[in-house]
Amino acid sequence: MHLRCFTRLGIASIATLVAPSLSATPLTDGLEAFKEGRFDEASTLWARGASLGDVDAELQLGVMLGAGKHLPRDVPRARALLAAAVQQGNVDAMVALALLDYRPDVGQREEGLALLKSAAARSSRKAPPLLTLAGTVDLATLGFSGPASEQEALLPVRFSKPFSANPADVSAGRDTVNRTCVACHGTGVMGAPRSGHPEQWKERLSLGLDTLAERSAKGYKACPPRGGDYLLTDDQVRAAVYVMTEGGARR
């Protein structure tokens, strides 16, 4: 939905980042628990896997704790887990730790930049566009996305009610666009349809507002789930899409 759109770059959801196993493991069991919304169980399973040195479990739990949506946010523990995965050469963990380090409350941008360069040198598909944009965009505005958004893509999209375009929802949608979506959809970077240009959304809107909002919530093409803002609700995403498409082209 905005400049965070480059963080996805066609990467498969987190479920496909992990090679399937013939037998259940704390990692795979945790992924199933997460998909079913059993977040405490997922974190417990991933913690068990991390204690056994499972690099992917370290990544998943580190991302979950860094995002702080389904568990209380714990930056020191998140950084420790991601750093352990980095030490094992996991390039996704390098990118996740870099984005976490760029957050204002962490404030370790130089370390984050070094991690992105290292990930790019190891053939990460996520790091090069981040490095390209780092010269013109403050990566701190991206929030903690990437793998966090890929985790979120496992969850079903559920709107709390039919969209009514009442003033409160429209105002909230405009706030989301201005805070989250405008960097990509305000400029058209990477081919993103521009906010306030309904003709650029015409083909997409033929799918219907709810379907278009669901795509935005789940992630579509180069755009990560929720535009990379892990904390946006499904209703907030739909309101933002409505505003960007100028009222769903008046539906």
Model pLDDT for residues 98-137, shown as the tens digit of each residue: 888 887 778 888 888 899 899 889 888 777 777 766 665 5
What's the length of the chain?
251
Please enumerate in sequence order all residues whose Cβ is within 8 A of that of 63, keeping only pairs 6 or more positions apart, or say none. Answer: 78, 82, 96, 144, 147, 148, 151
- The residue with tokens 């199933």 is 32
Reduced to 3 states (helix: H, G, I; strand: E, B; else coil), residue 11 is: coil
Reduced to 3 states (helix: H, G, I; strand: E, B; else coil), residue 220 is: strand
Note the pLDDT of residue 181: 84
Note the pLDDT of residue 74: 93
CA distance 191 to 93: 28
CA distance 76 to 182: 31
CA distance 90 to 127: 13
- Which range has highest mean pLDDT (5-9, 21-25, 128-132, 214-218)? 214-218
CA distance 50 to 88: 12
Task: Please state the rounded mean pLDDT for residues 83-102.
Answer: 89
Full set of structural domains in the chain with CATH: 15-125 (1.25.40.10), 167-250 (1.10.760.10)
Give the model confidence (pLDDT) of 142-157 as tens digits: 555 555 556 666 677 8
Angle separating helix axes 26-35 and 55-67, nearest 10 degrees: 30
The CA-to-CA distance between both ends of the chain, in Å, stands at 20
Task: Please state the rounded mean pLDDT for residues 50-57.
Answer: 94
CA distance 155 to 42: 13
Using the predicted structure, report yes or no on whether residue 9 has a pLDDT greater than 90: no
Please tell me whether the overall predicted TM-score, pTM, comes out greater than 0.75 for this model: no
